[in-house]
Structure formats: structure tokens, C-alpha cells
Amino acid sequence: MNKATLFVDESGKASLADQLNRLFILTGVILDNSEIQTIEGFFNYIKLKFKLPQTQTFHSYDIFENPKTKLSDTALVNLSKNISEFISLIPVKFHIAWVIKNQFRSALGVKSFNDFKGSPERKEMKDYPYRVAATYIFAKFGEHLERSGAIGQIIADSRKGGDHQLLKTLDLCKEKAVSVKDKYHEAIKNKISAICFAEKGFLSGGLEVADIASYITFNRAMRKMSVAKVTGVDKIWEQIKPKAKIAEINQDSVRRYFKLKPGEVHKCLKQKIKIFVNPT
């Protein structure tokens, strides 16, 4: 029986209570398991060729941008050429959810960051971007499994807070508590056999591909085009783009997900915050 794996990585901060990062990117990479060994071999070759640590994961920010660890511009252009050529050859699917957080807050009816205080339900609202983005990624994986007849597993780069949201979203998708097409819901429920969270240092070519795609998408979203041209990652994007489906999670999609009418606020915001005063 055919088997497939969904690799999940993220860039930016998902929390709506975070005021510093305006964007959040969640990337899903779908690979048939028969291709994974080839990808592992490619990254072993890349690490040898560019003298990168064999026992450490390929982390795009550290290699392309971190002043303390980045390669020279000449090496990066050569590296980008190698990666872009490889991506052009492998049968890979990229599914990318792009969240603009101020639009997300507006769609929920959030007026201030104090709206995330109070009840547990209100506090959980700050993590809703993860839920909506993960639902999109899981639905696309369900579509792949339904069409290919494969059995699937999920491997995600472990992030504090994100692991819980991925698990919860997967349960919601399986329970049909969120809007997913019936046949994709059935595939998610019956064909996804495992989900695993990879700690730092876990070597996985699929996660390394997801990291590259997430990093480049985030840079493009933040319009860091100077970095892209100097390092050659724009060439990698040219190979990712034809194989990618990108969903912008805007106000309309947030309202549809939570079934909100225009001008309506999320049900958690309708709850009154209880204030307790100690008697003196």
C-alpha cells in the first residue's frame, strides 16, 4: 500500500496576542514515502559539499541570514542553485497558509489585546491562527490521501504551544467539528495513522524542505527581497511556486471558518469578563 507523509513547519508567531510579528506562515509539504530516502541523500550531500554539520538539521535562517552562522554570499548562490534544481526534479506538493494577524483579529471582532484575557475560552482565541491554518493544511493532506489511496502520517517541527494546537485541530478535523469536505474528512479520520513532533536535532529531509519553503515564503511576505537576490533564494522560490498552493487567511476566510456574519463578533467575546473584588 502507498504511504505518504505530511511535513509541517512554521515561520513567524501564531499568537494574536503577539504585537511584534504581523504575519504567520504554516507550511505543509506532502511527499510519498518512496521519495524520502532520495531527499535524505540530497541533504547529506549538501551538508558535505558546503561543510555543514552532518548531525544538525538544515535550518534556513542560520544558513542564509544569521550573521553568526551564515555562509558567504558566493556559497549561498551556489547552494540555492543546487536546491532549486533538486526541487524542480522531485514530486513534492507545497501547501502554505499565510495569516495576516491584524485582519484575523478584526474578523473575530477583537478591539484590544485585553480581549484575550479572562475566561479560558478567551485566552485560547489568541491561538486561533494555528487552528485555521492547520485545518487548511490537513484538508489538503486529506485530499491527497483520498485521491492517491495512500495511508498517511504527519511529522511536525515541534514548537511550544503549536504542538497542542496541531493535535487539537487534527481531532477537530476527525470529529468533523470544522468545515472540511466530507470525502477529505473521511480520509483524515481513517487514513492518518500517526502524528509525531520532531524535537530540535531530529534529522528529516522532509522537514528540511518544509523549513526552506516556510523561510522563503515568510521572507517574500515581509518583502525582504534584498536577502533573496543576494543569496539566490529567489531562484528556489521559482521552483517552489509552480508546485505550491497558497491560501491567504483573510477576514472573509476567518468569518467563514467561525461562521460569523459581517459585523458579528466571536461568541467568546460576547462573554462578560468577571471581576472579583476582595471584601475589606
Residue bearing the bigger pLDDT, 117 or 228: 117
Please, are residues 25 and 217 in contact by the beta-carbon 8 Å criterion?
A: yes
Torsion angle (degrees, nearest 10) of CA 115, 117, 121, 124: 90
Phi, psi of 175 (to 5 degrees): -85, 0
For 133-181, what is each residue's pLDDT tens digit?
Answer: 999 999 999 999 999 999 999 999 998 878 999 999 999 999 999 988 8
Query: Which of the four pLDDT bands, split at 50, 70 and 90, describes residue 201?
Result: confident
Query: Which of the four pLDDT bands, split at 50, 70 and 90, describes residue 275?
Result: very low
Shortest CA distance to 204 belongs to which of 62, 42, 13, 92? 42
pLDDT at position 225 is: 61
User: Which of 170-174, 220-224, 250-254, 258-262 has the weakest average pLDDT?
Assistant: 220-224
pLDDT at position 278 is: 53
pTM: 0.92
Q: What's the rounded Cα separation, in Å, for the pair 34 and 19?
A: 42
Which helix (H) or strand (E) segment is 145 a member of?
helix 128-148
Q: What's the rounded Cα separation, in Å, for the pair 133 and 129?
A: 6
Burial label, 68 (beta-carbon count in 10 A; 0-12, 13-18, 19+): exposed
Q: What is the CA radius of gyration of the chain?
A: 20
Please, are residues 123 and 116 in contact by the beta-carbon 8 Å criterion?
A: yes
CA distances from 107 to 122, 255, 266 (A): 15, 6, 8
Q: Does the structure show a pLDDT above 60 at 277?
A: no
According to DSSP, residue 175 is labeled T
User: Which of 15-24, 93-102, 231-240 has the weakest average pLDDT?
Assistant: 15-24
Please, are residues 64 and 215 in contact by the beta-carbon 8 Å criterion?
A: yes
Residue 244: partners with Cβ closer than 8 Å, 6 or more residues away: 93, 94, 95, 96, 213
Q: What's the rounded Cα separation, in Å, for the pair 34 and 71?
A: 31
User: Which of 119-128, 134-143, 188-197 has the weakest average pLDDT?
Assistant: 119-128
